[in-house]
Amino acid sequence: MNIFPNGIQGLSDTKWSGVLGSAHRLVGVDYRSQPGAIQANQALSKISGAVVDELCKVSLPLSDGSTLWFSSESGKIWREVADTFTLLGSLTIPGFKMKVTNATYSGLSKNYEAQISSIGISHCFKDNGLSMYVLNVSNAIFQYTLTEAYNVSTATYATKTFATGTNSRGLFFKPGGTKFYICEDMGTTNVVEYEMSTAWDISTASATGVTYNFGTQFSRAYGIVFKPDGTEMYLWDGSNQEFRQYTLSTAWDITSATYTAGFNIGAGLNLTYGGGGFITSDGTTIIATTTNSFLRKYEMTTPWDITTAVFRNEYKLPSGVYFGLNASPDNSKFYVGTQDSPETVFQYDLGPSGQADADPIVTVLGAEEFAVPDGADGPDENTFDDEMTQYVYFATKDWLLRTTVADILNITNLNENGYLTQFKNGDEKYHPVKKSNGRLYFGDKHTICVVNEAGVITLESDFSIREPERITILENFDVDLLIGTTNVNGKSRVLRWDTESPTWYGEDFVYEDEIHAFLDEDNYTYAIVGDSGQMHYYDGEKLLKHKRIPGVYSKTARCKVNANAVGYFMGVPIFGLTNVEGNPNLQGVYAYGQYSKDYNITMDLSFPISSGEFAGIEIGSIVVQGFDVYVSWKSATAQGVDKLNWSLKYNGAYIETMVLNSPADRAKFKSVKEILADYIEMPADTSLTMQYSNNYAAYVTHPQQLNDKLLQLRGMGTVPEVGSLQARFVFVTDGNNSPVIENLHVNFVDEE
């Protein structure tokens, strides 16, 4: 019989029966590039210039010709150019850096009108957050005790008060609580130093007689801040909406202060009055209130240098005039008082986690390049020019970050590049990303974060699903977005969303625990779901069962395809099969496609990884760039990045047939009369090894002889007493040379 009379039909679901011409197993075989010819495929080779020592589930080709590889095990990021990899560094989160557009009123406040009958113009905290100090415009400081650190709603009056001098407005405590400083307003333009005989006990305070007069610069100081080492002092000029910076030649000695610079937050805003201004404890951020009730954030590219401050974002407070602005040391909260009665301090939250290290998980879970108009980052966010800046947007557990492609070498230096925004929800496992309709979409647990054409971020779109269901993957479908999910009840969904409506308009459930990956081929979209090799076809409305990746699956034998371990290579979709548990099938890079529309769609293990292993493998991501294929992988003993080697054929590629004789043939023994392979080419130092398995025994090599006139390889001798037979043909290659086979035959005769 001709084993493949209509051409190879790919992997069969079983080795016992299936479509005529199906192979039970195809490993490293090329039968698509030249119809009618079968040879060994090109090999994957580990890139010698690779220093990637961890699995990468996210990889991103950039417009500058490089590719970024993000470790899925740590914060490491590598950049590859012309197959040379450079470690750019390890991504770390240096602290909670506020974005005030994330602000939400916490519902926590403290009404202190029983002690203060006028404006609370300054609020300060003890360094452990368990004491709060309120300076009012009647020139007195009141001390409160908090039962929960930095939670103003737990404050009670400590019956401790200190009367200051006239026109006191700003208050700042030196670390350790032995001194504090007052700045004055209207005529008495001094900074005044006080000391406490008992640290943090305001009732033990007295003036030291040390002062500094700032009257030559301005007249109304409403706030004061020091750099933690006491070498820089900052005064908030509420009348002119300006921060004034002073350098102290002797730390904490205000008499040694020299005016060095000013930064006006009101430039171009036509503001006449600003009640509150503050600098965060890390010296990177200025926050200030304006006359139109906005809280504005400015970021200093050089910490503690106000001349480097740049506007970043703002938050609309309820209408009012605000004073006494302050922030918690970790920048997760801010506090503000209002001029309006009753006298109250209000507490706002700046993010979902409120930790100094908001993102201890720093692995990148999604990344994409996206162009934003230059004007989107300027102070006037309503005007744009035609110039576009290419950015890399990338997501960790809690943070959506970005840097320009031009500054990609500094991608891990977040202190320089800054955070972009903090996700509303955060997800330690999934932040899928996809460009669609000129926008960038990130899945964020149960909602979708959108970066629009102007670079404006909507942290929570109208699209939302209910927890515990989570978004696992995004994919384009025509002009719509497909959203794959996971759930805890053994079901998952694919949702079709037009990206404009409040919710999706198409959905379908599958009884698998997760949508892992989407695989595209021209007008076909497949979803790989669950851990037992199920592939479904999406018809625009429903997921239809389509194909199963052959394997022996069970509770302890499972596989999957990672979301970014897919690609489209030479007109054929490819995907990396990853072991979850128990090695139910061979792992490597599979292909599922056809040479052209006139040929069958077939599946095979086209590209084994370079280590030669087939078990215990995880394929993290695949990058296809023209005729180049890159694969990040890891096994129990090694890891690396492979590249398709156009100078090397895969040695050991093989075709394994299904069981060749039918059930009717089992009624009596048969003998194999001959095994034949018709070839097109048999280059020197290459060969095709014939093997057979009789009655499910181990494979045995069959003696063979080459006839170079008939271009035929003939198996020598018979195989008697065959009840069930499988054949295997193994390609022995030499460099970039491989046997090229035309037909394979196995002929039986009945035994008497």
> Among residues 240, 279, 233, 277, which one has the least CA distance to residue 259?
233
At residue 359, the pLDDT reads 52
pLDDT on residue 358: 45
Domains of the chain: 23-41+653-750 (2.60.120), 45-82+557-649 (no CATH), 100-349 (2.130.10.10)
Q: Give Cα separations from 517 to 81, 472, 475, 514 (angstroms).
A: 27, 9, 9, 9
**Contact call for residues 732 and 686 (beta carbons, < 8 A):** yes
List of the chain residues with pLDDT < 70: 18-20, 93-99, 101-102, 266-275, 340-341, 351-361, 374-386, 414-420, 662-666, 752
CA neighbours within 13 Å on the CB side: how many for 278?
A: 27
Distance CA(272)–CA(619), nearest Å, equals 60
Tokens 């407070």 locate to: 317
Q: How far apart are CA 434 and CA 443, in angstroms?
A: 9
Q: What is the dihedral of CA 140, 141, 143, 144, to 10 degrees?
A: 90
For residues 237 and 239, give the distance between their C-alpha atoms in angstroms, rounded to a whole number.
6
Say whether 148 sits in a helix, a strand or coil. coil
CB burial readout 445-454, b (16+ within 10 A) else e: bbbbbbbeee
Q: How many residues does the chain have?
A: 752
Distance CA 42, CA 650 (A): 6
- Give the H or E element holding residue 414: helix 414-417
CA distances from 644 to 87, 573, 608 (A): 22, 15, 10
Check: CB of residue 372 under 8 Å from CB of residue 452: no
The pLDDT of residue 96: 47
Cα–Cα distance between 57 and 724 in angstroms, integer?
43
Q: Cβ distance 707 to 715 under 8 Å? A: no
How far, in Å, CA of 34 to CA of 681, rounded?
Answer: 13
Measured between alpha carbons, how far is 123 from 338 in angstroms, rounded to an integer? 12
E strand or H helix at 538, and its extent? strand 534-538
Angle at 528 between CA 43 and CA 366, to 5 degrees: 80
Nearest to 590 by CA among 4, 27, 14, 154: 27
d(CA 9, CA 707): 28
Record the pTM. 0.70
Short-list 453, 455, 460, 394, CA closest to 423 = 460
Predicted local distance difference test score (pLDDT) of residue 357: 41
Compute the distance between CA of residue 731 and CA of residue 649 in angstroms, rounded to an integer.
10
- CA angle 524-532-631, nearest 5°? 65
Cβ proximity of 103 and 349 under 8 Å: yes
Rounded CA gap, 176 and 126, in Å?
A: 9
Complete DSSP assignment for 338-356: ESSSS-EEEEEE-SSS--S
| Rounded Cα distance, 50 and 56, in Å | 13
For residue 375, what are the contacts with CB-CB under 8 A and spacing of at least 6? 381, 383, 384, 385
Q: Tell which residue, 375, 367, 415, 414, has the closest CA to residue 391.
A: 367
Number of other CB atoms surrounding residue 583 within 10 Å: 17
Residue 382's pLDDT is what? 42
